[in-house]
């Protein structure tokens, strides 16, 4: 019913324009098509190309599917990912990065960057130790409790391991319910997509990602 009323309203408002375009088409359809292309086709094509370029190389939208990054990112949050910053500088410890899932490159994962290549990492009493020293900053890491997992490859109690060359070690903020580097291993630098920087939906959570 509402759809029919909308169509009726559009017809009433634009019927003269429709009649005019129909007469122009019948009188010289080639000229009409050329004008339509100039007025609508070219602008739409240019806008589409720009949108694809921005999404591919500059900023991409993503939806958070799980609670592994609670409470920083919640299920259903929609975020923008900055794809250009890491072309000019290396990622920093504590930043939330988006990357291709090592076990399925068709999927993108979101986790917090913890360890870099060549560093010795240990999870002890809920804290992160890098090269034998307990991390005291950044607060984005130290404010979370990280659990040991005896049934996963990395992060077992008392286990120390070296991050391989060309890789990162990442963890979810919601450590108790996050499948991360403790489970499936390290993230190749070549899999890095970008840096999560803005929650844009829902509106009551709009703001920059910490």
Tokens of 17: 């324009």
Joined together, the tokens standing for residue 182 give 């403790």
The tokens for 22 are 């129909």
Q: Which of 68, 175, 178, 181 is catalytic?
A: 68
- Which residues is 196 bridged to in the sheet? 81
Supply φ then ψ for residue 161, to 5 degrees. Answer: -145, 155
> Phi and psi at residue 96, in whole multiples of 5°?
-90, 120
Rg, Å, the chain Cα set:
25
Does the annotation count 34 as an active-site position?
no
Question: Could you tell me what percentage of the chain is helix, strand and coil, using 3-state DSSP and rounding each to the nearest 5?
Answer: 35, 30, 35
Helices 29-36, 2-27: inter-axial angle, 10-degree rounding: 130
Considering the candidates 83, 111, 175, 178, report the single residue annotated as catalytic.
Answer: 111
Q: Is 175 a catalytic residue?
A: no
| Pair of tokens at residue 5 | 């009323």
Q: Is the Cβ–Cβ distance between 197 and 210 less than 8 Å?
A: no
The set of catalytic residues is: 68, 111
């Amino acid at each position: 019913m509402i759809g029919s009323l909308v169509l009726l309203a559009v017809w009433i408002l634009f019927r003269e324009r429709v009649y005019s375009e129909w007469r122009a088409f019948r009188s010289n359809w080639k000229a009409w098509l050329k004008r339509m292309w100039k007025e609508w086709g070219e602008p739409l094509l240019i806008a589409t190309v720009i949108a694809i370029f921005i999404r591919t190389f500059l900023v991409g939208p993503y939806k958070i599917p799980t609670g592994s990054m609670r409470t920083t990112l919640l299920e259903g949050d929609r975020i923008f990912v900055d794809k250009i910053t890491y072309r000019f500088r290396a990622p920093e410890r504590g930043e939330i990065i988006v990357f291709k899932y090592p076990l399925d490159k068709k999927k993108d994962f979101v986790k917090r960057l913890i360890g870099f290549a060549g560093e010795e990492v240990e999870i002890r009493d809920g804290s992160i130790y890098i090269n034998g020293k307990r991390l005291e900053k950044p607060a984005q890491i130290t404010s979370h409790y990280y659990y040991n997992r005896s049934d996963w490859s990395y992060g077992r109690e008392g286990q120390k391991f070296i991050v391989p060359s060309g890789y990162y070690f990442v963890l979810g903020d919601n450590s108790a319910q996050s499948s991360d580097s403790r489970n499936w291993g390290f993230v190749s630098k070549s899999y890095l997509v970008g840096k999560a920087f803005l929650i844009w939906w829902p509106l009551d959570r709009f703001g920059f990602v910490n």
